[in-house]
Amino acid sequence: MVLIGVAPGWDEQAGKLTVHRDYTDAVLRAGALPVLLPLTDGESVLRSMLDRVDGVLFTGGGDVSPARYGEAALPCCGEICPARDDFEFALLAQALAMDRPILAVCRGLQVLNTALGGTLYQDIGKQMPGALIHPRNDQPRDGVHAVTVEKDSLLGKAVAAARLEVNSRHHQGIRTLGAGLRPTTRAADGLIEAVEMPAKRFVLAVQWHPESMSGRYPEQQAIFNAFTEACGG
Ligand code: MN
């Protein structure tokens, strides 16, 4: 059974690492074993963690600090967690250096894009004219908008569809693309909703939450299955 390291959320006030069960269920359904990673940015510990897991899953959460892409936080920016940023940016750099398979969800996509020199809309509704309403937390577990999918991509091969209905629980998104990333889906308003890194074995990031749909929508579970396969499962 392959091991998938899951990067958790960090509730600083409560002192708790957090991960929604949907993530671990989706990994289990794919036939892999999810393991919760501890928060650390110690380089040798990170390397040791990455030696033991076959892939890394970056989960959703709050906003990336705009300082990471050279901006001051605007009033429209949401809650940030510098300790989680430190952990995830260090983990991601090491995982990319070791070419570990990566699946990044929602905030995870934003971490990946920022780490590679891209920028984010601090708030899509305020900064992107003509945007759809993307923070649709009223319907967290079903599709609320469509995305087009490029056939000849990791995602396209996984879901075997040219169009997907996706949930949408984000108020931020990719403004300028990070280096080495290939956009593979767009929403109707033009927003990039998934990226891949062609130079790596398997790096796939999606702006929606496939884990919340994967129990009932096989094409969303297929994303976790393809990731697990890339991990050797
Ligand atoms: Mn969306």
Average confidence (pLDDT) over 90-102? 97
- Assess whether 209 carries a catalytic annotation: yes
Q: Which listed residue (81, 106, 134, 231) is catalytic? A: 106
Higher pLDDT, 233 or 182: 182
Mean pLDDT over each residue of the chain, to the nearest integer:
97
Interhelix angle 107-115/82-97, rounded to 10 degrees, is 70
81 catalytic, yes or no?
no
Identify the pLDDT of residue 160: 96
Give 3-state DSSP helix, strand, coil % of the chain, rounded to 5: 30, 25, 45
Average pLDDT over residues 67-93: 97
Write down the pLDDT at residue 31: 98
Reported as a single tens digit per residue, the pLDDT across 171-213 is 999 999 999 999 999 999 999 999 999 999 999 999 999 999 9
Backbone CA torsion sign across 80, 85, 87, 92: positive
Q: Which one from 88, 193, 211, 231 is the annotated catalytic residue?
A: 211
Q: How confident is the model at residue 233 (pLDDT cuts 50, 70, 90)?
A: confident
Give catalytic status of residue 211 as yes or no: yes
Q: In which band, very low, low, confident or very high, does the pLDDT at 41 lie, cut at 50, 70 and 90?
A: confident
Per residue in 1-37, pLDDT (tens digit) is: 999 999 999 999 999 999 999 999 999 999 999 999 9
CA of 56 to the centre of ligand 1 (A): 23
